[in-house]
Chain A
Amino acid sequence: MRKTITHIEQESLKRKHDISAVDGAGMAIAFFPRLQDGIAGRVPRGNTPPMQEIPLVRNRIVRSLLFLFALTVSDFSRGAEAAADRTRKVVGAAETFLATLDAAQRKKVIYDFDDAAQRIRWSNLPVDRVGHGGLRMGDLKPGQREAVMHLLASVLSRMGYEKVVGIVESDEVLKNQSRSGAPPFGRDEYFISFLGKPSATAPWMIQFGGHHLALNITLAGEQGVLTPSLIAVQPARFTLDGKTVRPMGRETDKALELIKALTEAQRKQAILGSRMRDLVLGPGHDGEMIQPEGVKVGMFDEKQRRLLLELVAEWSGIIHDAAATAKLQEIEARLADTWFAWSGPLEAGKAYFRVQGPTVIIEYAPQSLGGDVTMHLHSMYRDPSNDYGRKFTGQ
């Protein structure tokens, strides 16, 4: 079983060193246009490949953002960093961001750690319907926005950082497609907040989200917990600088690969006989645990287990590597009690699926809004045993 984890780690490292092979990665992002000032053209050090050799990242802004990531997470070649080191880096990035704020902004961005209302104030909905707390990206100065991105780069893996930026960029595309005067979409409509003050030892939480995105990251000393988080995208496929970008492309394709890799008998068990048109455990359903269904992963052979873990890693691997590796090992240890269910055709992006085990629930639900279900994807990532890091925080 350990071999499976190692394989995924190797694949992850391979992706980091060959991002042109990763669908949706390395997209041209104009998330923070000012970032290109003074950064573009520099070549990152360490083992990160020279970006001019990567076709998808020739764009100056892309180079800037990936360089920002490389600065924050300086050495990919050594594999997972010690969790404690990473927590210290995250705390440093958070304190750097806080130092850019005035007193009123600091008051607005930090909530008490036990603020139960703010903890659950997240949604997939457009921001004008939610009433997000914290600071709105569109209200921040360029340097402050840059500091937020440094913070995200420090707490997320490279894959996770790129996924998040891709989701935000897709919302910008949605805004530009809108015919109304002030659509509640786009890069400016994301919010950053903390519950508790950044600390290398005491529990605290980072929230970053808006339409189609809710990252709830609890940090408690060496522990890092990403659940519950909502990862969604619309449009799920768009073109930027002549390249096709699919922020949730890998999970879409990996799920199809997995269902096709099952035997006929396994697939029959996995496929539910009913249509699943939405998430069951989306926003507002904290603490609920539905009865698992589908096929038991305990029946899978080694290849099928590996495919399932690679699929799960698309969510568990959004957080930084040290936390992600520990989480994937935890999930792998309970694979015998994990279930995989599927509803819909055996086509990419057209079917609902769910992975459910004692320490993980992942739901992926294409949405019928707008016609093409493959263009509007919702997913939810939960840990029924440890949402909001309650194992470590008592919240």
Chain B
Amino acid sequence: MNSWLLGCLLLVLAAPSDALAHRLDEYLQATRVSVATNRIDLSIDLTPGVAIASQLLAVIDADQDGQVSKAEATAYAQRFLKDLQVALDEASLALSLTDISFPALHEVRGGLGVIRIKASAPVRSLAPGSHTFGLTNSHLPAISVYLVNALVTRDPAISITKQTRDELQKYYRLEFQVAAAP
């Protein structure tokens, strides 16, 4: 991971002229959190900027054949999830990868491709009352820009009460209430 990180940090900032319209030397990581009484779902969009895309692809494309296979994409998604720490009521949760969608390589190289990862953590049925969900994202912090938001829950028993983030949105805390069954 260290050599990979180092590679990503060796950025070539002299991007092509048309790159002024594209994301450049940032890695946008946008996470949406969905809470239900029996599971937590995460949906993550990863958009590497044009100046870091090639370095990132070089790492993801492990066999260096110029393609990102399903296995390579899945391996990267698993590696990404290891950099997420999630907890429910201060107890760590284990995330399982449920889906990975990898864009065309030319889109990634152009700073326009979005890697979409879905992950889920089953939880025991939540008791009525107050609960907290915490997420810390430590994936490539030197080059990343983070967004984290809760989706409006479709579970009528749950009401979100507060979202807290640090300035960079690497750390996120969601507070919510579970209503007693009628």
Which residues of chain A are near B160, meaning CB under 8 Å? 291
Q: How far is the CB of B113 from chain A (nearest CB, A)?
A: 9
Which of these, B30, B112, B163, B164, contacts A278 with CB under 8 Å?
Answer: B30
Say whether B147 contacts A291, CB under 8 Å. Answer: no
Complex interface bits, B114-151 against A, C-beta within 8 A gives 1, otherwise 0: 10000000000000000000000000000001010111
Say whether B21 contacts A234, CB under 8 Å. Answer: yes
A179 touching B17 in the complex, CB below 8 Å, given contacts A273-B167, A275-B169: yes
Which of these, B32, B45, B107, B110, contacts A290 with CB under 8 Å?
Answer: B32
A274–B19 CA distance with the chains assembled, in angstroms: 27
A43 within 8 A of B: no
A280 within 8 A of B: yes
Say whether B21 contacts A369, CB under 8 Å. Answer: yes
Which of these, B150, B164, B168, contacts A275 with CB under 8 Å?
Answer: B168
Which residues of chain A are near B164, meaning CB under 8 Å? 273
A291 touching B114 in the complex, CB below 8 Å, given contacts A178-B18, A274-B169: no
Say whether B145 contacts A274, CB under 8 Å. Answer: no
Chain A CB count within 10 A is highest, among B21, B145, B149, for B21
Which of these, A174, A278, A290, A369, contacts B24 with CB under 8 Å?
Answer: A369
Say whether A278 contacts B28, CB under 8 Å. Answer: yes
Which of these, B16, B32, B168, contacts A180 with CB under 8 Å?
Answer: B16
Say whether B21 contacts A126, CB under 8 Å. Answer: yes
A268 within 8 A of B: no
A211 within 8 A of B: yes
Say whether A291 contacts B17, CB under 8 Å. Answer: no
Q: How far is the CB of B46 from chain A (nearest CB, A)?
A: 12
A274–B112 CA distance with the chains assembled, in angstroms: 24
Nearest neighbor of A171 in chain B, beta-carbon distance: B21
Which residues of chain B are near A234, meaning CB under 8 Å? 20-21
A183 within 8 A of B: yes
B22 within 8 A of A: yes
Q: How many A-B contacts at CB < 8 Å in the complex?
A: 79
Say whether A129 contacts B167, CB under 8 Å. Answer: no
A272–B162 CA distance with the chains assembled, in angstroms: 12
Which residues of chain A are near B168, meaning CB under 8 Å? 274-275
Say whether A174 contacts B21, CB under 8 Å. Answer: yes
A141 within 8 A of B: no
Say whether A129 contacts B150, CB under 8 Å. Answer: no
Which residues of chain A are near B110, meaning CB under 8 Å? 129
A34 within 8 A of B: no
Say whether A276 contacts B147, CB under 8 Å. Answer: yes
Chain B CB count within 10 A is highest, among A129, A272, A289, A293, for A129
A288 touching B32 in the complex, CB below 8 Å, given contacts A180-B18, A273-B167, A280-B147: yes
Say whether A369 contacts B167, CB under 8 Å. Answer: no
A242 within 8 A of B: no
A38 within 8 A of B: no
Say whether B152 contacts A290, CB under 8 Å. Answer: yes
Say whether B151 contacts A291, CB under 8 Å. Answer: yes
Chain B CB count within 10 A is highest, among A183, A276, A369, for A369
Complex interface bits, A360-391 against B, C-beta within 8 A gives 1, otherwise 0: 00000000111000000000000000000000
Which residues of chain B are near A394, meaning CB under 8 Å? none
Q: How far is the CB of A55 from chain B (nearest CB, A)?
A: 32
Complex interface bits, A181-210 against B, C-beta within 8 A gives 1, otherwise 0: 001110000000000000000000000000
Q: How far is the CB of A245 from chain B (nearest CB, A)?
A: 18
Q: How far is the CB of B43 from chain A (nearest CB, A)?
A: 9
Say whether A291 contacts B152, CB under 8 Å. Answer: yes
Say whether A183 contacts B18, CB under 8 Å. Answer: yes
Say whether B17 contacts A180, CB under 8 Å. Answer: yes
Say whether B112 contacts A129, CB under 8 Å. Answer: yes
Chain A CB count within 10 A is highest, among B18, B149, B165, for B18
Which residues of chain B are near A183, meaning CB under 8 Å? 17-18
Chain B CB count within 10 A is highest, among A178, A275, A276, A368, for A275
Say whether B151 contacts A274, CB under 8 Å. Answer: no
Nearest neighbor of B161 in chain A, beta-carbon distance: A291
Say whether A277 contacts B18, CB under 8 Å. Answer: no
Say whether B26 contacts A290, CB under 8 Å. Answer: no
Say whether A291 contacts B163, CB under 8 Å. Answer: yes
A125–B24 CA distance with the chains assembled, in angstroms: 14
Q: How far is the CB of B168 from chain A (nearest CB, A)?
A: 6
Q: A275-B145, A290-B152 are in contact. List 9 more A-B contacts (CB 8 A).
A: A178-B20, A234-B20, A273-B164, A274-B165, A275-B167, A275-B169, A278-B147, A289-B151, A369-B20
29 A-B pairs with CB atoms under 8 Å apart are: A125-B112, A126-B21, A174-B20, A178-B18, A178-B20, A179-B17, A180-B16, A180-B17, A183-B17, A185-B21, A211-B21, A234-B20, A234-B21, A272-B165, A273-B165, A273-B167, A275-B145, A275-B168, A275-B169, A277-B26, A277-B28, A280-B30, A280-B149, A288-B32, A290-B150, A291-B160, A369-B22, A369-B24, A370-B20
- The residues of B with any CB-CB pair to A shorter than 8 Å are 16-24, 26, 28, 30, 32, 45, 107, 110, 112, 114, 145, 147, 149-152, 160, 163-169
**A-B residue pairs, 8 tightest by C-beta:** A179-B17, A274-B165, A289-B152, A291-B150, A370-B20, A290-B149, A277-B145, A129-B112
